[in-house]
């Protein structure tokens, strides 16, 4: 455990996340590479940061291998909710610890950040807002997983440095009676490099040089595409069934249906089932590093479903290059049957080509999507090919190329709905989205702009005039609740005061500051989010709500 004692502040200095992707570093001890460090962040209803450290130290007397994984969960303002830490020295020899914040602050004031226990995201945000000039300093509290306690950190901006034409802050971090850490951060306070003197010498973290191992079969760049849907599907978590008309690039058409109550049994043939748990050239299920990760995530869980969910969330947070393949490897390392699927799933008015995973749960295949995505019902996954990878990766790409996917009918909350030939009806003074059941009159002197680029985004439209800017997005949280809405409004307006708009009959929530206002209107498990920016934003809200704003639930 002497190796771990080296890291008491080293970990703390590196917990700044790089949003939506994994950031990898090389760990050096006295200029010799001894391991790797990874950090990633996933932002959903709460903010999840995952850190992994792997070290291998060899001396004349013995050798030591150590694997450490720390997971943080924060609220929308960066307040730490909980943290878990696992230290593994060998299979079956894992030390597990947890922390839960019992002193959450619910009202914000000028000194709130210095009273809170911050997580990685909160540490980054408070640094961004307070450290701007040389010798600026801050004091904040955070949880140290190696010391198993909340600690006070003193952070000072001591210098600047330019590397490859990019400017970095030199940051000095210290905790009472512990060695200081000196780090380089970019101007968004994401860590570039760090170093600390310890009892065994100087330990450094530096960026890992990117190496690309590309397999033509695994590279989806040439095959991956986004196909426009003929309809924005309302409340996609509650679409129970859907009927599609598919057109291939060869001009052939096919009708197909998907439903959330379809049953896909596991193979009854023992040999066929064994193919779903075996090692292959692409999947080494006996890899100890994978086993450490999967075992630490699943050992305290009672059911296969909970295990599969934990492995999926891990892949989503750490964002490996091929998430579906990573999930299969983790699942098979703890003997869960798993196979890969190539197909399309629905997102924000598009069908996205992707790979996802099916894992055997209670004698049937269930969908687990490790890609970062907005939540949808299982009925909105269109599989083209499914493979246990016994015959390699080639079968995943042996299917007709799709040119169009059209929704003809669907069930929402058990109620039949029909699609439309033209999803949007727009005039100079009126906007209507038939799929979402949305319509309103465009206020005078405002122009409606549309983004014609193809991208996966919840943004529906923008309205602008010379002084004001209005956007409308359609968002599907993992779990929609009044707490989620209140936290969203607080994060984007800084206001705790939430009111209802008197001009709307439907349920709604609004928060207003001097230059910004947010109006949230639920629709099933999704929400319309109106953002108003400019002077007197309450007048902009009224300008929209008075203009026959209608939303069908």
State how far the Cα of 135 lies from the Cα of 144, in Å rounded to an integer. Answer: 25
pLDDT at 3: 40
- Better-scored residue on pLDDT, 328 or 47: 328
CB 27 within 8 A of CB 196: no
H-run or E-run covering 274: helix 270-274
- Structure tokens belonging to residue 68: 């450490």
Query: How does DSSP classify residue 302?
Result: -
State how far the Cα of 16 lies from the Cα of 38, in Å rounded to an integer. Answer: 11
pLDDT at 91: 54
pLDDT at 218: 44
Question: Among 177-181, 477-481, 533-537, which stretch is predicted with the lowest mean pLDDT?
Answer: 177-181
Taking residues 50-59, report their average pLDDT. Answer: 77
State how far the Cα of 367 lies from the Cα of 447, in Å rounded to an integer. Answer: 42
Taking residues 330-344, report their average pLDDT. Answer: 95
State how far the Cα of 467 lies from the Cα of 533, in Å rounded to an integer. Answer: 9
Taking residues 244-272, report their average pLDDT. Answer: 92
Sign of the alpha-carbon dihedral angle for 126, 479, 86, 193 = negative
Torsion, CA 128, CA 133, CA 137, CA 142, rounded to 10? 20
495 confidence band (pLDDT: 50, 70, 90): confident
- Structure tokens belonging to residue 176: 């009472």
Q: If you average pLDDT over each of 279-293, 408-422, 477-491, which comes out highest?
A: 477-491
State how far the Cα of 65 lies from the Cα of 67, in Å rounded to an integer. Answer: 7
Nearest to 243 by CA among 54, 95, 464, 408: 408
Q: What angle do CA 247, 250, 254 make, to 5 degrees?
A: 30
* Residue 105 CA: distances (Å) to CA of 75, 81, 113, 485, 487: 11, 11, 9, 18, 13
pLDDT at 12: 44
- Better-scored residue on pLDDT, 515 or 424: 515
470 confidence band (pLDDT: 50, 70, 90): very high
State how far the Cα of 54 lies from the Cα of 68, in Å rounded to an integer. Answer: 7
CB 80 within 8 A of CB 101: yes
- Structure tokens belonging to residue 282: 């692409």
328 confidence band (pLDDT: 50, 70, 90): very high
- Structure tokens belonging to residue 241: 């069934």
State how far the Cα of 473 lies from the Cα of 487, in Å rounded to an integer. Answer: 17
Taking residues 456-482, report their average pLDDT. Answer: 92
Question: Among 198-212, 281-295, 429-443, which stretch is predicted with the lowest mean pLDDT?
Answer: 198-212
- 379: exposed, middle or buried (Cβ count in 10 Å: 0-12, 13-18, 19+): buried
Share of the chain above pLDDT 70, in %: 86
Taking residues 197-203, report their average pLDDT. Answer: 76
Given phi > 0 = left and psi -120 to 50 = alpha, else beta, which region is 130? alpha
Taking residues 157-174, report their average pLDDT. Answer: 88
Q: What angle do CA 22, 23, 28 make, to 5 degrees?
A: 140
pLDDT digits (tens, 9 = 90+) for 356-385: 999 999 999 999 999 989 999 999 999 999
- Better-scored residue on pLDDT, 64 or 115: 115
Taking residues 56-67, report their average pLDDT. Answer: 66
Contacts of the segment 192-196: beta carbons below 8 A, 24+ positions apart: 192/163, 192/168, 193/25, 194/10, 194/13, 194/14, 196/6, 196/9, 196/10, 196/13
pLDDT at 419 over 70: no
State how far the Cα of 339 lies from the Cα of 388, in Å rounded to an integer. Answer: 5
Nearest to 121 by CA among 63, 73, 65, 177: 73
State how far the Cα of 71 lies from the Cα of 120, in Å rounded to an integer. Answer: 10
Q: If you average pLDDT over each of 36-45, 188-197, 470-479, which comes out highest?
A: 470-479
- Structure tokens belonging to residue 287: 């890899």
CA-atom Rg of the chain in angstroms: 26
pLDDT at 99 over 60: yes
Q: State the chain's mean pLDDT as an integer.
A: 84
- Structure tokens belonging to residue 259: 């439903």
Strands 93-100 and 364-368: unpaired
Question: Among 75-79, 210-214, 536-540, which stretch is predicted with the lowest mean pLDDT?
Answer: 210-214
Contacts of the segment 321-324: beta carbons below 8 A, 24+ positions apart: 322/218, 322/355, 323/355, 323/370, 323/371, 324/354, 324/355, 324/356, 324/357, 324/370, 324/371
Nearest to 385 by CA among 370, 371, 399, 369: 399
pLDDT at 213: 36
pLDDT digits (tens, 9 = 90+) for 257-267: 999 988 999 99
The gap from C-alpha 14 to its chain's centroid, in whole angstroms, comes to 20
CB 468 within 8 A of CB 532: yes
pLDDT at 211 over 70: no
CB 507 within 8 A of CB 522: yes
63 confidence band (pLDDT: 50, 70, 90): low
pLDDT at 152 over 70: yes
**Residues making up the chain, counted from first to last:** 553
Which residue carries 């013995």 as its tokens? Answer: 62
**Phi and psi for 293 in degrees, rounded to 5?**
-65, -55
Q: What angle do CA 453, 455, 458 make, to 5 degrees?
A: 115
- 394: exposed, middle or buried (Cβ count in 10 Å: 0-12, 13-18, 19+): exposed
pLDDT at 455: 78
CB 325 within 8 A of CB 355: yes
> Reduced to 3 states, what is the DSSP secondary structure of residue 551?
strand
pLDDT at 113 over 60: yes
pLDDT at 39: 84
pLDDT at 193 over 80: yes
- 61: exposed, middle or buried (Cβ count in 10 Å: 0-12, 13-18, 19+): exposed
247 has which bridge partners?
253, 404
Domains and CATH numbers, the chain: 2-207 (no CATH), 226-418 (3.10.620.30), 424-551 (3.40.1000.10)
pLDDT at 10 over 60: no
State how far the Cα of 296 lies from the Cα of 290, in Å rounded to an integer. Answer: 10
Please give the full DSSP string across 134-180, using - where no structure is assigned.
TT-EEEEEEEETTTTEEEEEEEEEEEEEEETTEEEEEEEEE-TTS--
pLDDT at 37: 87
- Structure tokens belonging to residue 446: 């405002």
pLDDT at 511: 95
């Amino acid at each position: 455990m002497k190796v771990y004692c080296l890291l008491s502040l080293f970990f703390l200095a590196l917990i700044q996340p790089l949003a939506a992707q994994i950031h990898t570093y090389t760990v050096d001890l006295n200029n010799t590479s001894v391991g790797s460090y990874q950090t990633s962040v996933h932002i959903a209803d709460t903010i999840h940061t995952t850190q992994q450290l792997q070290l291998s130290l060899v001396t004349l007397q013995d050798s030591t291998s150590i694997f450490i994984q720390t997971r943080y969960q924060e609220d929308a303002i960066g307040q730490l909710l909980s943290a878990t830490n696992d230290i593994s020295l060998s299979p079956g020899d894992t030390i597990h610890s947890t922390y839960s914040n019992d002193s959450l602050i619910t009202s914000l004031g000028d000194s709130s950040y210095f009273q809170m226990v911050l997580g990685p995201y909160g540490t980054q945000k408070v640094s961004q807002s307070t450290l701007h000039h040389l010798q600026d300093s801050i004091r904040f509290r955070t949880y140290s997983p190696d010391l198993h306690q909340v600690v006070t950190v003193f952070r000072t901006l001591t210098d600047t440095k330019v590397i490859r034409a990019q400017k970095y802050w030199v940051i000095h971090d210290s905790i009472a009676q512990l060695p200081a850490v000196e780090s380089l951060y970019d101007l968004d306070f994401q860590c570039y490099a760090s170093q600390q003197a310890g009892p065994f010498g100087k330990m450094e973290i530096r960026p890992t040089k990117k190496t690309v191992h590309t397999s033509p079969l695994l590279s989806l760049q040439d095959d991956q595409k986004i196909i426009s849907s003929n309809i924005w599907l309302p409340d996609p978590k509650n679409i129970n069934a859907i009927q599609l008309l598919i057109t291939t690039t060869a001009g052939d058409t096919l009708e197909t249906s998907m439903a959330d109550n379809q049953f896909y049994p596991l193979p009854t043939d023992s040999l066929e089932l064994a193919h779903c748990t075996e090692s292959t050239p692409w999947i080494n299920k006996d890899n100890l590093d994978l086993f450490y990760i999967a075992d630490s995530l699943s050992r305290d869980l009672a059911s296969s479903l909970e295990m599969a969910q934990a492995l999926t969330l891990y892949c989503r947070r750490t964002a490996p290059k091929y998430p579906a393949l990573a999930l299969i490897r983790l699942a098979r390392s703890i003997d869960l049957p798993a196979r890969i699927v190539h197909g399309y799933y629905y997102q924000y008015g598009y069908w996205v080509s992707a790979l996802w995973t099916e894992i055997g749960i209670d004698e049937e295949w269930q969908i687990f999507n490790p890609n970062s995505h907005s939540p949808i019902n299982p009925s909105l996954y269109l599989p083209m090919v499914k493979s246990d990878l016994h015959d390699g990766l080639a079968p995943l790409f042996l299917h007709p190329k799709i040119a169009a996917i059209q929704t003809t009918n669907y069930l929402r909350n058990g109620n039949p709905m029909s699609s439309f030939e033209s999803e949007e009806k727009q005039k100079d003074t009126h906007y209507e989205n038939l799929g979402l059941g949305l319509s309103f009159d465009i206020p005078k002197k405002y122009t409606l702009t549309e983004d014609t680029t193809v991208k996966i985004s919840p943004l529906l439209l923008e309205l602008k005039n010379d002084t004001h800017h209005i956007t409308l997005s359609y968002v599907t949280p993992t779990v929609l609740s009044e707490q989620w809405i209140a936290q969203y409004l607080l994060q984007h307006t800084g206001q705790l005061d939430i009111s209802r708009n008197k001009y709307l009959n439907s349920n709604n929530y609004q928060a207003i500051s001097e230059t910004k206002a947010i109006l949230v209107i639920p629709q099933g498990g999704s929400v319309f989010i109106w953002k108003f920016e400019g002077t007197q934003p309450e007048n902009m809200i009224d300008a929209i709500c008075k203009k026959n704003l209608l939303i069908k639930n």
